[in-house]
Structure 1
Amino acid sequence: MTNELFYMSATDALEHFEAKTLSPVEMLQSLIERIEQVNPEINALTDSYFDEALDKARMAEARYCGKGEAPRPLEGLPVAVKDAQRVKGKRTSHGSLVLMNNIDSCSDPMIERLEAAGAIVHTRTTTPEFCLSGVCNTKAWGNTLNPFNRSYSPGGSSGGSAAALAAGFTPLATGTDIGGSVRIPAASCGVIGFKPPHGRNPDGPPANFDRYNHCGPMTRSVSDAALMQNIVSGPHPRDHDSLREKITLPLSPSSIKDLRIAFSPDLGYRTIDRDVQLNTLNALETFRSLGATVREVDLGWSQRCDEAAMHWYNAMHYGRQTLWHARENASLMTDYALAAAEALNKTTMDDVARSWDIQHEMYQSFGAIMEDHDVFVCPTNAIPAVSAQLDTASEGLQINGLDVDPEWGWILTHQFNMLHYCPVISVPSGFASNGVPTAIQIVGKTFDDCSVFKAALAYENEIGGWFTAGKRKPEF
């Protein structure tokens, strides 16, 4: 076992499988040993299915050896699935004691497509209760820690997936993103997270009815994210919000000479940690060195964006399900889940209706700016990561000595859930002084996924990737 195998990309693993220089069984066995050794230190996983997964790996190995049907596009690749997405016949707890006996009768479309393509679900990853927090700390599964610095959180809500990737547990993972839940933890753990336009990736109910909601790939390389995205996107008969158009993303870098980048250091109203600022500026210099032009812009956004988003979350996601469960099971729930239920009681229908006015105003400025630019860049998070012990329901948070909202004041992600048809990828930008990664977001025009991936692939190629030979990895 070596770090090289733990951190092998999905695209490299497929090449080795095809060349018969690596067996899917060998890879999975190594990852299982890695999980058993390291996961007790970071607690990134919930249920695991190792015996069943090894059986599937043996069948994948047989396919590569010419026995039976030909290998499928993701044949034999392990994938870790967030414990908020359905897997047929398996438990999905949503990080809650209330749902510890919840067994799914069908898989969500994303998981269905991954398995149909030959990917092997070997484990599930932690999430805060009902995906409600940027910290993965639950009564059901305990606290998940950042592999790069265990004093910090991996972020949320897809924190277990990001931590599992960073720790070398899996080459592929899944996430869901309603307020940044793919990108926030991807940034804090130094991995890739993609939020597609709403409807690009079909989803299961009730999430597919919420335009803020997106399910997407989480990986250690941009090319792996594109590989995964090309499998899961496209219309699905069980999701009427799924887009009819099917696009194919590039898997390899190309020139971005003359790419036009709009840039905001803080969305006009966020306080940004100094390490994040510096690494963001360095990333922009990398784009300039590749021939891109970078221009700072003023979006005209303000705190009103956060307030509008919270009204929508309370009505569509946070408050409703927590309120329903709190009526009978409040003693089983976390403080932050109960706080979400209480927030719904303070939200009026007028608040929710008016939130759409703010979203409209946001796009009037953003859309106009993007007429003259190809992509938009900003930090993903305002700080590298929050403390693993942060209680967002009762504690404060400071950035550069200034008080910020502990729930929303440290992220720059939910604004692009409000602009739900804009694709966004989070890619690492460097490391902070505390050893935790930082990241930038690359945002595209509505439905322009290809430009986002083109920019990300070129950037990744120029700096040599993030979990490649010689690069900093978590120490265990």
Structure 2
Amino acid sequence: MSDLDLCYLPAAEALRRFRSRTLSPVELLQAQLRRIEETKDSINAVCFVYAEEAMEEARKAEARYAADAADLRPLEGLPTGIKDENTIAGKVTTFGSLIYKDNVAQTTTPVVQRLIDAGAVVHGRTTTPEFSSEGFTHSRLWGVTRNPWNLDYTPGGSSGGSGAALAGGMASLATGSDIGGSIRIPASACGLVGFKPPYGRNPATPPFNLDFYNHPGPMARSVEDCLLMQNVMCGPHPNDIASLKPKLKLPVDRRGIRGWKIAYSLDLGYYEVDDDVRRNTLAALEIFRSLGAEVVEVDIGWTKQTEKAADDYLRTIFGAWVAEYLDERAAMLTKYGRAFAEASQTVAPRDFLASLYTAGAMYSTFGPLMEDFDVFVCPTLALPAVGAEHDPDNGLTINGKPVDPRYGWIMTYPFNMLSRCPVLSVPSGHAANGVPTGIQIVGKTYSDADVFRAGLAFETAVGGWFTRPEARPRIPAAA
């Protein structure tokens, strides 16, 4: 097996090969470490590499497989990228900001600790925009992270480094966090699978464990790999009062979706949608029909007021948190980080309250509608991706029409507002510029198994992603 084939080997398949001793965790790690080195200048997805420590852990995993250890862990030996927002005790965590460039964390984020305890090998940290506050990934600290499918475009954000690392073959699994789409945006733009679990399913840390827009979650190259990772990350935690009991273990359910009813909307009632995105979404819906599902277009009654409500909510909590740095440290902030912090100073309690009323009104149509359907499908992004160095101040157009440069191209944040609905983003195809597109599979509240069952059926029908050399990005060699 070539280095590149190893780099793109599905995590579930790697585990099967580890157990049969036809592949060593050391071999897989070595291939991905070489891939990180080869792409560091062109893609810039990994900001810290822990080669020696990771190799030591991979050798331990290799020995455990060789000994047929009875207590092999669920992720034993899998190289896993950790977003540079999730803290790891004793390691620098920067949050993508110059302010924290030398910040050594004292604790480990609960979901990361669970991955480590499950045998994941942490070999690198993935880039993020400053304080995870944008849907693209560039910062003063780490520079520009680029999309492996087309270097002129962003891999998305805020988990853009994780997305680029997975699409570029630098990790088997990677962590993300989603407060407005930060898992699903890079999943779509990079041709990956990303899961926004329902609020409380995966534990988080204060204060954002109490923010119902916030969802830590998994990113992977296949639905099964994403499910495998989610089963490790989820469950109640003693430090998170919002975490749900009992722990939910999802099955790899390949029974298909014959007889299901699937609702869909191409524009959620108010988005301008790129033609490639529209075409690929319609093609995906035809696949669902071919699997025996009834597919029905619906009107959910949402309006552009949704955009303002989400912005007000995010500025009230998230923006206020970033605004703590509007002191002598303000000069160190990236332009968009400072703008977000300053904008938080203009919202009032009544704006926050209005955002809750809007979320309630959205669910007053969506909830009753979903009583008649199994899942809901829509595009993940209205545009395949914005430019790698996107500056919201320069505006944005779709189909020649101006849209909000932050919110007008991401169709993800409405489902942070409806935070108890699980959402799985899966690839739907590619645009003319080579950048992937994606669809969101949205479930009823806390119906995680439904979106994974639909995702597995869809993935099986299309033959998966990244499994063939011609289905992988062609990354230009470093000069």
Residues 441 and 67 of structure 1: is their aligned pair in 2 closer, same or farther, counting only changes over 3 Å? closer
- Superposition deviation, residue 67 in structure 1: 7.5
Q: Which residue of 1 is the match for residue 49 of structure 2?
A: 48
State the match for 1:234 in structure 2: 235
Distance 1:146 1:423 in 2: 26
Deviation, structure 1 residue 324: 1.0
1:82 to 2:83 alignment: yes
Q: How does 1:126-141 map to 2 (within 5 A)?
A: 126-141=127-142
Q: Secondary structure at the match of 2:281?
A: helix
Task: Look up the SS of the partner of 1:328 in the other structure.
Answer: coil
Partner residue, 1:254: 255
Aligned counterparts, 1:7-46, within 5 A: 7-46=8-47
Aligned CA RMSD, in angstroms, stands at: 1.1
Is the contact between residue 269 and residue 303 of structure 1 (CA under 8 Å) also seen in structure 2?
Answer: yes
Partner in structure 2 of residue 431 of structure 1: 430
Bigger mean CA offset, 253-262 vs 434-443: 253-262
TM-score (norm 2): 0.97
Secondary structure of 1:295's match?
Answer: strand
Q: 1:352 offset after TM fit, Å?
A: 0.7
Match of 1:121 in 2: 122
Asked if 2 retains the 8 angstrom alpha-carbon contact of 1:64 and 1:70, the reply is: no
Structure 1 vs Structure 2: percent identity of aligned residues?
Answer: 52
| Cα shift at 1:251 | 2.0
2:341 maps to 341
TM-fit CA distance, 1:41: 0.7
Partner of 1:205: 206
**Whole-angstrom CA distance in 1 between matches of 2:5 and 2:253:** 21
Residue identity matched to 2:246: E
- Paired position in structure 1 for 2:441: 442
Q: Deviations over 1:403-446 (max 9, x none)?
A: 10110000110000000100001000000000000000000000
Q: Which residue of 1 aligns with 2:451?
A: 452
User: Within 5 A, what are the aligned runs for 1:59-98?
Assistant: 59-66=60-67, 70-98=71-99
Tell me, what secondary structure is at the counterpart of 2:41? helix
Question: How far apart, in 2, do the equivalents of 1:328 and 1:265 lie?
Answer: 46
Matched, 1:266 2:281: no
Asked if 1 retains the 8 angstrom alpha-carbon contact of 2:320 and 2:345, the reply is no
1:98-138 CA-partner distances (Å, limit 9, x unpaired):
01122111111100110001001100001100011111110
Q: In the alignment, what sits opposite 1:416? A: 415
Partner of 1:396: 395
Q: Which residue of 1 aligns with 2:165?
A: 164
Question: Greater CA deviation, 252-261 or 359-368?
Answer: 252-261
Output the TM-score relative to the length of structure 1.
Answer: 0.98
Give the aligned residue type for 1:87.
Answer: I
1:349 Cα deviation (Å)?
1.0
Any residues of structure 2 matched to 1:457-472 within 5 Å, and which?
Answer: 457-472=456-471
Q: Hey, what does 1:405 align to over in structure 2?
A: 404
Task: Look up the equivalent residue of 1:83 and give its one-letter code.
Answer: D
Contact in 1 for aligned 2:91/2:105 (Cα 8 Å): yes
Query: Structure 1 unaligned runs (5+)?
Result: none
Matched, 1:380 2:380: yes
- Closer, same or farther: CA 346–451 of 1 in aligned 2, 3 Å: same
Q: 1:295: Cα distance to partner? A: 0.6
One-letter identity of the residue aligned with 1:347: V
Relative to structure 1, is the Cα distance of residues 67 and 246 closer, same or farther in structure 2, using a 3 angstrom cutoff? closer
For residue 448 of structure 2, what is the amino acid of its counterpart? D
Counterpart residue identity of residue 338, structure 2: L
Equivalents in 2 of 1:382, 1:431: separation in Å?
13
Of stretches 214-223 and 232-241 in structure 1, the one that deviates more from structure 2 is 232-241
Report the secondary structure of 2:106's partner residue.
coil
In structure 1, how many angstroms separate the alpha carbons of the residues matched to 2:365 and 2:470?
39
> Alignment partner of 1:41: what SS?
coil
**Matched residue type, 2:228:** L
1:388 positional shift = 0.9
Amino acid at match of 2:317: M
Q: Report if the CA contact (8 A) 2:97-2:131 is conserved.
A: yes
Shift of 1:341: 1.4
Q: Which runs of 5+ in 2 are unaligned?
A: none
CA distance in 1, matches of 2:93, 2:17: 33
Q: Amino acid of the residue matched to residue 463 of structure 2?
A: G
Runs of 4+ in 1 over 6 A off after TM superposition: none
Counterpart Cα distance in 2 of 1:234 and 1:70: 21
SS in 1 for 2:408: coil
